[in-house]
Chains A and B, each alone.
Chain A
Amino acid sequence: MRHVISILLENEAGALSRVAGLFSARGFNIESLTVAATNDPTLSRMTIVSIGDDYIIEQIVKQLNKLIDVVEVVDLTATEHIERELLLLKIDIDQNTQADIDEQIDLFSAKIIDISEDFYILELGGKSQKINDFLKALSAFKVLEVSRTGVTGICQKR
């Protein structure tokens, strides 16, 4: 099953590689990983999406907790939570395709954030599924470049 794991960790050089190293050394998989400082500059928030059965996820959480730099680990999937992801995408446009692409942009409420002569840069935020759907809808056209942030999430309880 897919799990979103939220990790609060010391904002120290090397903390990220400890987490990444743990996943590779123990053969845990990473679907996506995002990290940035929080409002407390000494702490970072990392969100990892991983796929595994209960046993694997339990091990991931326990092993993460063992890392000295890790302050808190929460498996968001186990609680009510909100997930978001941001997509930036470059897509080729020409007379034949532009109208159809514009239609998809409207449909998904994506934003055109940059227009050049023959391509757009688009932005879309939302759940991963929505972004997947959007990419699927655009697959009929000439997508030049895709950049996704990976999931970040937050627990809905106070």
Chain B
Amino acid sequence: MKLNGAQILVQSLKNEAVEYIFGYPGGAVLHIYDALDAQNDIKHVLVRHEQGAAHAADGYARASGKVGVVLVTSGPGITNAVTGIATAYMDSIPMVIISGQVPSALIGNDAFQEVDAVGITRSCVKHNFLIKDINQVSITIKKAFYIASTGRPGPVLIDIPKDITIKKITKPVYADTIKMRSYHPVVNSDDMQIDKAVALIIKSKQPIVYAGGGCVIGNAHQQLRDFTRQLGLPITQTLMGLGAYPATDKLSLGMLGMHGTYEANMAMHDADCVIAAGSRFDDRVTANIEKFCPNAKIIHIDIDPASIGKNIAVDVSIVGEVSLVLAALSHALKDKKTADISAWWMQIDRWRSVDSLAYQTQAGVIKPQSVIEALYTLTKGEAIVTSDVGQHQMWAAQYYQFDEPRRWINSGGLGTMGFGLPAAMGAKLACPHRDVACVTGEGSIQMMTQELSTMLQYHTPVKIVNLNNGYLGMVRQWQEFFYEKRYAMSYMDALPDFVKLSEGYGHIGIKVEKPEDLKPALIEAFAQKQRTVFLDIMTDPSENVFPMIPSGAGHHEMLLAGRDKMESNNDSGLNLV
């Protein structure tokens, strides 16, 4: 039987066990849509904007651990998707994007809806392909999934000209396995490096584990838990690592970095040995590099050699799959005597008693932190929580205690407002039996509200928790602190009526204005199992995120809520974003 390129492409996707495609049609991909329509194995989710497609596929990938798949047309289809691709790239999320291209003969002619998709996406994908030959369709798909999901995962784009989807061949070949001479992701680490790490760890009197997104992406939560508990080490996690180690466990110090806890940042500052596991020393985490971990030996475990030594010089670098490396460390440390760290724990407990996440309540005012706490209590910590970007994101990270991986889904690296809602939709499709909440702000949600329509069509009931402070709060906070309260463009006049908006999209909207209405509204929302509910919660417009390490400061120079007044005359700090 003769198959056209589109049919071969769809069959190749089936071979990869693709369950969902998030996409949007257009001229260049009509043959692919035609082929999709002729089968039932792969379900297609018709989003309302291509950025939404990429974020939804991303949310699906983060919740499930599988590769997210996106299908968009040429020109504006792919350019719309770029923000979503870059978001996935920055957080190392496995994704395959198929973009239609104008027919091969027209490439380079400024044809209708032509853009150089491969060129535009080059710097925000792990790899990309332009298919030039119908015989390359199946092998390219195979390669794309292999590259996207192995090593340090990331998005891979396949640009396919329309003529290739139309052309027919007999007997297409589908490869089972793939070998590439130029791509060999590292798996196993070097034993010598393990020995060096062990030598540092057993001597350390003030150790700390600093775990990151790599432990979630690499499904290393069990090995991380075993390793940490075996030695009774204090552990802090990045924004991306939350859930890899249980937040409610006694060894957990919470998140570190710009808005991390006092105990986590102080422990980092005073540590004599830092074990970085799948974390990349991002500038939000290190704060001022010159003041970072002044006394510590640093062991860095990462699958990407380029991550190691990029921001921070390390003492022992271990390139490898973090689950295997941690298991190897646990094994190597089994019969070893380690230094006594009880004095270190006493110090950490003193820092803990500062209670840096305490906040002041005020009669009649809904504190955003209390909303997250109520959400946590009601869902018993078992919901998947996605978030947008801003203050609400930080509060969600600080006050929802994630005990399991893949429950906290947010854009950390790119910080993309608009991510939360489509990601929630993708997560709900990946985990239909789990409650999914999207914590957002009135600014962020407006970047992707059109996906409410998709959510109705595909029946993905999600609870939207809009912390409506009437401000681009994170921007306002910086302006309050660093721009002498000149609130340039951080206030939006004429916000929509979110209740009516969600009703207009066929969902339920509830406005919450008083603290006493919060809990009943949340209960009502989650009782509506089959419906998407938009909770528009009026929160304290003046609340700020604390603790905070101001730009230019070190981990030990945090500002605490109600205790420190922010006065910045430090212009050099403003160089940082």
What is A's interface to B at a CB cutoff of 8 Å?
A: 9-10, 13-14, 17-18, 21, 25, 55, 58-59, 62-63, 65-66, 68-71
Contacts and interface: CB of A to CB of B under 8 A. Distances in A.
Given A9-B182, A14-B128, A68-B182, 5 more contacts: A17-B119, A59-B309, A66-B305, A68-B183, A71-B182
B123 to A, nearest CB: 5
Interface of B: 118-119, 122-123, 126-128, 130, 147, 180-183, 304-306, 309-310
A14 B127 CA distance: 11
Contacts of A13: 130
Nearest to B147: A68
A10 B129 CA distance: 13
A65 B126 contact: no
A145 to B, nearest CB: 30
Nearest to B143: A68
Given A59-B310, A68-B147, A68-B182, A17 B122 contact: yes
B78 to A, nearest CB: 16
24 contacts: A10-B182, A14-B118, A14-B128, A17-B122, A21-B122, A21-B123, A25-B123, A55-B309, A58-B309, A59-B306, A59-B309, A62-B306, A63-B306, A65-B305, A66-B304, A68-B127, A68-B147, A68-B180, A68-B183, A69-B127, A69-B182, A70-B182, A71-B181, A71-B182
Contacts of B181: 71
Nearest to A60: B306
A18 B122 contact: yes
B234 to A, nearest CB: 30
Interface-central residue, A9, A10, A14, by most chain B CB under 10 Å: A14
A152 B128 CA distance: 28
Nearest to A42: B181
Contacts, number: 36
A63 B304 CA distance: 10
Contacts of A65: 305-306
A62 B310 CA distance: 10
Contacts of A58: 309
A30 B531 CA distance: 57
Given A17-B119, A21-B123, A70-B182, A62 B130 contact: no
B317 to A, nearest CB: 11
Contacts of A63: 306
A55 B306 CA distance: 11
A69 B128 CA distance: 10
Contacts of A71: 181-182
A48 B182 CA distance: 19
A71 B130 CA distance: 20
A68 B184 CA distance: 9
A116 B149 CA distance: 61
A35 B80 CA distance: 34
Contacts of B180: 68
A26 to B, nearest CB: 9
Contacts of B128: 14
Contacts of A55: 309
A10 B123 CA distance: 18
Contacts of A10: 182
Nearest to B305: A62
Nearest to B156: A68
Given A14-B130, A71-B181, A66 B118 contact: no
